[in-house]
Chain A
């Protein structure tokens, strides 16, 4: 990665691997104990239980006849075309929404950080979509895109852009893109605030120095701002990817996976398998496959980011 000369003056304290010293293990244990108890105390039983269930054929939560099938559920899922289609749709959703949110979020963070009049007004406005609960957001955009009385149809017709109302959620691709629009509207401000916090920790004198060097603004952005934003961007990238890959609520609220399964993402697929179909073993296996995919994705990111020497891992 290209590194700007100035960052070398960044304090040595940023070196990732701390010096070894004695007794830190004990201290770390006590510091981490509350977190370990609070998280794993709740999660470990379900995690193990679900893993066990994924190895059995369980066709009802009350099933008593549950033959052990080993990796049978996994084989079945992996050979199911519906699973791969859902994975494909989830990747499309994840990549498109994350890229859009990151790019727009970066621009928005820059805008929020810029010297403009009434900046606090803009900052307040930007918070709003983020504050709208996902379930409401889904209902809101479902209303906006409605084929019969939706606001989008109304405004486009009144402005003369279309002669007739359209079913915006009517085709699989269009519906998926509509869901992405709804997600981007709600989540971009969150991303922007994350990046703003990152921008906020960039010392001003670095910019002053860049100005003295007569660096162009574009160059300053790419050679100063962006590298220093790497920690924030990496957090956002990992978190958004994970969240997007698990997307459920907005699909549940907006399209319920339709039309023609066009918005059925992998988490929704797991949910319907486990609960609607009561193929509980299959649903558990799909859940674990989701975890594996997310882990792989995150590992790729983290490997790339470790080179920036700012990562914990």
Chain B
């Protein structure tokens, strides 16, 4: 009688163990729910994010007009924070919770190679290749196949404080290259206009890689070599990182930058403490919002300055809509994606997010909604630099973030840091 408890506990465990082996289709326990194209009607679940770009209200509006056009399809939206989006897609994949998923530009390689999202190349109409902006189309491209439709292209633009420029008699024309930006910064500093003219989002986060990518592009570099292999310690890379470290040493970059995310950068501009920064398109609206900004009407925005290479690509920061591989209703999901990424819908909500479509940028009515930003976009989106489309991107990015920060904090030389990042990415 005394070993009753132990025996029954073992029994409980045994039952659990048995049920485990019985249900073991794959190691993760997933893969049970095979996806399918479905009937093209019924209910689909869609995963969105809460902030930036289209708002919840926008998306509800789009769904309502989609449902009125397709009465046999119902769309159930879910909104999560951007920070939770990636891990939500991953944890939900084995259970097949969502049909449509919003994904970031840096995830297609990972999700495609991991079998989380479907290849939609054959579904995409031929003329999209000519009608869509080149800097948008490549958002969800991996190994010459498409795994999602871009939903609002986005890149980092260059913001400047016009009042500060006036004080030293400089203007937008003096900011055409990064060298000139530094020259103006030195002047601002020596005239005591501001202590640290430039702020960056260099915290240990993807934001750091966005800034780095944009600078790397300006220095004529790329994350990949000519054979398409990851090459982090290229000459251009070392030059870029050395340049970044130097601006810190010269006191032109705010030393707090290594703790800043985009939000902090935007706020330091809004405070009127910072003259220059790179940030996303939504920042222009925030800087001119009286309730959160002290520099209303004193802001300029333009495409990123040119580097020594004469290039000025923006970093591709778009999102895309994908179909989950485990979705059982992929045809209906595609209908929805096709509708909300369409020219008509994107132009209707142009105030929230830019359009994928070249034609939109020729329509004065559309441009007028946000002229300074669209003018900058016209230049910036001509060519975008992609962060490397490799399946293990997150890991590589994290390794690179850490190594870049070590260089910025003076713990390693730039070339050593990038060599170490490259070495770590090889394992």
Whether B191 is near chain A, meaning CB under 8 Å from some CB there, is no
A275 engages B86 (CB within 8 Å): yes
Given A63-B28, A259-B405, does the pair A25, B3 have CB atoms closer than 8 Å? yes
Instruction: Say yes or no: is B126 at the interface (Cβ < 8 Å to chain A).
Output: no
User: Does A272 belong to the interface (CB within 8 Å)?
Assistant: yes
Which residue of B is nearest A145, CB measured?
Answer: B259
Q: Mark A276-313, 1 if CB is under 8 A from B, else 0.
A: 11111000000000000000000000000000000000
Interface residues on B, range: 35 or more
B256 within 8 A of A: yes
Contact with A along B263-292 (1 / 0, CB 8 A): 010011001010000000000000000000
Q: Which residue of B lies closest to A255 (CB)?
A: B204
A131 and B26 alpha carbons, distance in the complex (Å) = 42
**Which listed residue, A53, A60, A64, A258, touches B116 by the CB 8 Å rule?**
A60
Task: Tell me the minimal C-beta distance from A92 to chain B in angstroms.
Answer: 18
Given contacts A63-B114, A259-B409, contact A280 B5 (CB under 8 A): no
Tell me the bound Cα distance from A23 to B256 in angstroms.
67
B255 and A276 within 8 A (CB): no
Shortest A28–chain B CB gap in Å is 6
By the criterion of a CB under 8 Å from any partner CB, how many residues of chain A are at the interface?
53
Per the bound structure, the CA–CA distance linking A215 and B237 in Å amounts to 71
| Contact partner, B16, options A32, A40, A146, Cβ 8 Å | A40
Q: Which residues of B contact A52 (CB under 8 A)?
A: 20, 27
Q: A63-B115, A149-B271 are in contact. Are A277 and B31 (CB under 8 A)?
A: no
B113 near A60 with CB under 8 A, answer: yes
Closest A residue, CB atoms, query B326: A62
| Cβ contact within 8 Å between A167 and B2 | no
Whole-angstrom CA separation of A183 from B411 in the bound complex:
27
What are the residues of chain B within 8 A of A257 when measuring CB–CB? 204
Verify B402–A260 contact, CB threshold 8 A.
Answer: yes
On whether the beta carbons of B256 and A170 are closer than 8 Å, the reply is: yes
A10 interfacial by beta-carbon distance below 8 Å = no
Q: A62-B28, A64-B26, A276-B394 are in contact. Are A260 and B406 (CB under 8 A)?
A: yes
Output the nearest chain A residue to B199 by Cβ-Cβ distance: A148
Query: Which residue of the partner chain, among A44, A61, A149, contacts B28 with CB atoms under 8 Å?
Result: A61
The CA-CA distance from A127 to B195 in the complex, in Å, is: 42
B90 touches A48 (CB 8 A): no
Q: How far is the CA of A28 from the CA of B259 in the complex (A)?
A: 54
B115 close to A60 (CB less than 8 A): yes
User: Which residues of the other chain, B, contact A48 by a CB distance below 8 angstroms?
Assistant: 16-17, 20
B5 near A32 (CB under 8 angstroms)?
yes
A49's contact among B20, B254, B268, B391, by CB below 8 Å, is which?
B20
Q: Is the CB of B116 within 8 A of A62?
A: yes
Residue A229 CB within 8 A of the other chain: no
Chain B residues near A255: list those with CB within 8 A.
204
Residues of A within 8 A of B267 (CB): 148-149
CA distance A258 to B261 in the complex (A): 12
B272 CB to closest chain A CB (Å) equals 11
Nearest CB in chain B: distance from A195 CB, A: 33
A residues 143-177 touching B (CB-CB < 8 Å): 146-149, 164-165, 167-172, 175
Closest partner residue, chain B, to A40 (CB atom): B12
- A7 is an interface residue with CB less than 8 A from chain B: no
Interface membership of B93, Cβ < 8 A: yes
A170/B1 contact (C-beta < 8 A), A40-B13, A40-B16, A256-B205 known: no
Which residues of B have CB within 8 Å of A170?
Answer: 255-256, 258-259, 409
Bound complex: CA A215 to CA B13 (Å): 55
Q: Complex Cα distance A164/B196, Å?
A: 11
What residues of A have a CB within 8 angstroms of the CB of B16 in the complex? 40, 44-45, 48
* Cβ of A36 under 8 Å from chain B: yes
Q: Is B94 an interface residue (CB 8 A)?
A: yes
Convert A178-212 into 0s and 1s, putting 1 for each residue whose CB lies closer than 8 angstroms to a CB of B: 00000000000000000000000000000000000
29 CB-based A-B contacts, threshold 8 Å: A26-B1, A36-B12, A44-B13, A48-B16, A49-B20, A49-B29, A53-B28, A62-B28, A62-B31, A63-B26, A63-B27, A64-B26, A64-B31, A64-B115, A66-B28, A146-B259, A146-B264, A148-B254, A171-B409, A172-B409, A257-B204, A259-B203, A259-B409, A260-B204, A260-B402, A275-B91, A277-B392, A278-B90, A280-B28
Which B positions have Cβ atoms within 8 angstroms of A?
Answer: 1-5, 8-9, 12-13, 16-17, 19-20, 26-31, 86-87, 90-91, 93-94, 110, 113-116, 195, 199, 203-205, 254-256, 258-260, 264, 267-268, 271, 273, 325-326, 391-392, 394-395, 398, 401-402, 405-406, 409, 411
Closest 5 CB pairs of A and B: A258-B204, A147-B256, A60-B114, A260-B405, A277-B395
